[in-house]
Structure formats: C-alpha cells, structure tokens
Amino acid sequence: MAPARPATPPAAPPSRASTISTLCATPSRGPREMGDPDREPGAAKSELAKTASRRSGMDVVDPEEKAEEEAPPDVIWVDWDGPDDPANPLNWSKRRKWLISSVGILFCSLVSLSVSGYSISVSSVQSELSCSKEVAVLGVTLFTLTFGAAPLILAPLSEVYGRSFIYLVSAIGFTIWFIPQGLATNIETVLVTRLTVLWTAFWVCCVLVTRFLSGICGSTAVSLVGGTLADVFRGHERGTPMALFSRDALSLPSSPLIKGFRYVNWVLLAMSGAFTISMFFILDETRASVLLSRKAAKLREETGDERHMSRDDFERGSLSEMMKTSLGRPLKMLCREPVLIAFTAWISFTWGVLYLCLVSIPLVFGRIYGFSTGESGLVYITQTIGSTIGLVFDLYCNRLYIKNVAKRGPEARLYSAFGGGVLVPLGSFIYVFTSYPECHWSGPAIGVVILYTGMYLVYLTTFSYLADSYSLYASSALSAMSFVRNLVGAIFPLFTTQMYDGLGIQGAGGLTAGIATLLSVTPFVLFRYGSALRARSPFARELARREGAGRANQGGERGTEGANEKKHAEGDV
C-alpha cells in the first residue's frame, strides 16, 4: 500500500496563475483526466469518482477503484518512499526547480520571438522569394494553426514518453527547421528565368512546410510548460513562475535590430541551438507518473519480481484510447456547453484581434510613419509592456476573487475580465484612430499597450474561470477553447492586408474594435447568469452530483483532508 498522504495546511483560494499551471491542459489521461498536482500517486481513493453515473454519458471512472477491482491481488504498488522522498520533483531544491522551469519559460520566449520575427519580415519574404503577400503570411497562419492542434496529440505522448523527451525532440526540431528557412534566400543566385520560377516555388513551399513543422515543435513550449510547473511547484509556490510563463506566452518580444527574413532565421538558429545544447545538461524528467513507471521497471529488473507496478502503468489506457479521449471530448463539450461556447467566442475573436495587430504593426508604422523593418520591431516591445501591466493589475483582481469566491463561486474569477473587456476595445480604438500622419507615432503605440494589458487579463481569466466552472472536465474545456482560439488567430492574418487596403486603416480597425466592444459584454453576462447556465449543463450537473457525494463521504477514507482540497486538472498545457 502507498503511504498515507501527509496532512496539508488549509490554504487560501488558489491564485489565478497557480490555477492555470494545472489547468492549461489537454485531456490526455482518458478516464483519469483529473488529479491534484500536489497529490502523490497512490494517495487515498477519491469517493467522488465512485459516485459517477455511467448512465449520464460521462465516461469518467475512478482509476484506483478500477485498480482494486481488476489488479492482481498480489501486485506490489510502487510509490514514493514517503512524503519527503527526494526523488519526488515536489521535494527538489528551489534552485533545481527554477533551473528546470526556466528551460520551459525560455523555450516559450523563443517561440514568441519566432512568431513576431517572421511577422515583421513578411515583406522581406515577399521580395526575396518573389511571392505574394498572402502566401508570405501563410507562414504565420501555419505556425499558429499547429498551436491549437498539436497539443491534443503531444499530451498523450508526454504521458508515455515523459516531458523531457518531448522537450528535447521538439527543441531539436524547432532548431533544425530554421536552416531551410534561412537557405531559402539562395534564390538570388538563380539567374535563368525559367529555373527561377521553379526554384521560387520550391523555396516558398520549403518555407511554408518548415514553418508548419516548426510550429508543431514550438507548440511544446506552450503545451508542456504549465504541466512542468505543476510537477515541481506546489500550489502556493506556483504563482510567480506561472505569471512569468503566461506573460511570455502572450507577449511577442522582438528585436529592433531585425533586418530581414534571412537575419531572423539565422539569429533564431543560433539562439535555439545554444538553448537546445543547454537542455541536455539541465533538463530532468519531472512528470511523477513517468518517474514512478521507471522506478517500477527498475525494481522488476533488479528483483526479477514482475509484481512491481505503478498505479499509472495499470490505469493508463492504450495510446489510441488516450488519443480518442484527447480529441473527442473537447469537441463534444464545444457543441453542448453554453458557458464554454460564449467564452470561446470572446477569447477567440480577441485572439484574432491580437494577430491582426501583430500583422498590421509593420503595415501601420511603415506606411504612415515610414518606419523601417527594424524600427517596426521596436514597436513590439509595447506588447511586453502591456502584458507586464496586466500582470500587476491582476494581483489586485485576485484579492477580489479571494474576498468574493465564497459568495460568487467561479464568477468571482471574472473581475479582471471586466477590465480586460473594456481595455481591449479601448486600446483597439486608440491604436486605430491615432494612426494618422498628423498624430505622433506614440499614439498608436500607447493603444497597443492598452490592448495588450486587456488581452493579458482576458487570457488569464479564461483559463481560471473555465477551470473553476468545469473542474473535472477542465482540461477538455480548455483544449477545446485553445483549439478554436488558435484557429481564429491563424485565419485572421490571411485577410489583414486586404481588409486594411479595402476599408482603410481606420475603417478596418474600427470594424474589429466595434465587434470587440460588442463581445466585451460576455464577462458581465456570465457574471449575472453563469450559475444558471451551468445548471443546465450536463457536465456541470454531473460534477454537482459527484461533489455532493464527495461531501457526504468525506468522513470515510479521505477524512477531513478532502475538505481542504480543490480538484485541478493535471497535465500539459
């Protein structure tokens, strides 16, 4: 039997950032989609899962109940050697935790730099590869599209092979794909006209394909870092590292020294190469289930006793089953859950506005103010400034959450969304209607700062609110939202130039700002009617039954410890 879990002191409601670190996940676990990241494997069995109604269509069963019913009677469960086991990532030193966490956060920053760097150099791609603006912008679209789809597949793989393996493979691929993108500029050496056409087509396809593959590799930075932070930091320790990760995931830093498409790729190749090499010396596996599986395998090898087994080895379904759950349940929820539908529509359009801004910055500052490519890159720093301001503002909103959560429930998470709902359209209007030659360039730059301050608040609220609303099914809800959000973000840049050319900068920007204003009522409506909408949700009704049963049975095996715990989604993203 696994050792009993030590009692944990009562804690304040989790901060928004610490919640995201356990809830930015895709449903990789099949039946066991949920789990407290602070809860060591083999902890006392949850009575909540035992009361689930199979007739409700929610295919969630308690894996430990399944283990007791179906496991061989003489199995030897492998667990940590007590609550202070130094092999448990939660017990590692702070220095080691921060060193490993910095790897994921830095990876996220490199991916963000790749997005903004390519966006700034789209005109260079056009001129050097003799392609249209629409084809060049496809590099942004394909890269972004993979951010929504790839994590649905990467999450089950990380459960089987571990986070460190996926990190290393992804970092190597992310680095390698810069080489063909950089070499694509060799088109200038081709002198024969007919061969130039064929050579151009080859290199354009090369750039687009490698951008797609680079996006798949880069999506690891976003899909696994939250899980890594949950692996090594306990709930009350997670706020600061998660806030840094969220800022880097949202802001798109870029260098004012960017000089063109070729320059971007070679600089990123050098940075990513150095980063990848460092990973071999720094990175360790952090996923508890994988570490215990390896421990069980080592014991079987050393003792010759095949009865040694970790619970995750027994509970884990086949890879195909995990893929089916990872892909199927989010789609089902996206079609049936009004709260999820409303929030997905809001965050997706807001994300689209973000990418419109990303692609339009070189357009606006280049056409109106005559900025060079490098000077346009300097403007992107305003996005990081806005995200940092949003981070500070969210600290105040989290106090409101702690004060009102007992009365409001999940809707207490929406206070910062009120500010985000106002700031996103406000920043959009300022960005658009100060973009005149008569106005100083600082006007639209301030608009971008305000826009990104609001975007950061919306981004954080979305994850924490859906997490609290759907609890057990949070990772499925979040993966559905993330897929649609990134799909919209991938599509919007395709028509940015045509929209700005057809409607003008003010007309196009005013249209998107107006729609953003209409959608900004979403958090206010959900604050008033969110609980009523959840009452009609089949998933929420199932959760209510399970929570009621859990409270009724807490006097049993879990004791009073269960009353102080909040179930969070475990995983990757």
Confidence of residue 204 (pLDDT cuts 50, 70, 90): low
DSSP 129-142: HT--HHHHHHHHHH
Tokens of 13: 């409601």
- pLDDT tens digit string along 144-176? 777 777 777 776 777 778 888 888 888 888 888
Angstrom CA distances, 548 to 143, 532, 545, 553, 570, stand at: 44, 18, 5, 9, 22
Give the chain's domains with CATH numbers.
Answer: 89-286+320-535 (1.20.1250.20)
pLDDT at 251: 62
30 pLDDT above the threshold of 70: no
pLDDT at 423: 92
- pLDDT tens digit string along 408-458? 888 888 888 898 889 999 998 999 888 888 888 888 999 989 998 998 888
Would you say the C-alpha torsion 396, 398, 404, 410 has a positive or negative sign?
positive
The better pLDDT of the pair 431, 375 is held by 431
Return the H-helix or E-strand segment holding 532. helix 522-535
Q: Rounded to an integer, what distance in angstroms lies between the CA atom of residue 500 and that of residue 30?
A: 45
Q: Rounded to an integer, what distance in angstroms lies between the CA atom of residue 538 and that of residue 536?
A: 6
Q: What is the mean pLDDT of residues 467-483?
A: 75
Q: Rounded to an integer, what distance in angstroms lies between the CA atom of residue 64 and that of residue 411?
A: 32
β partners of residue 569: 34
Angstrom CA distances, 364 to 27, 51, 79, 121, 167, stand at: 40, 58, 58, 14, 37
From 44-48, 139-143, 247-251, 341-345, the region with the lowest mean pLDDT = 44-48
Tell me what percent of the residues of the chain surpass a pLDDT of 70: 71
Which residue is it, tokens 């060193």? 99
This prediction's pTM: 0.67
Return the H-helix or E-strand segment holding 76. strand 76-78
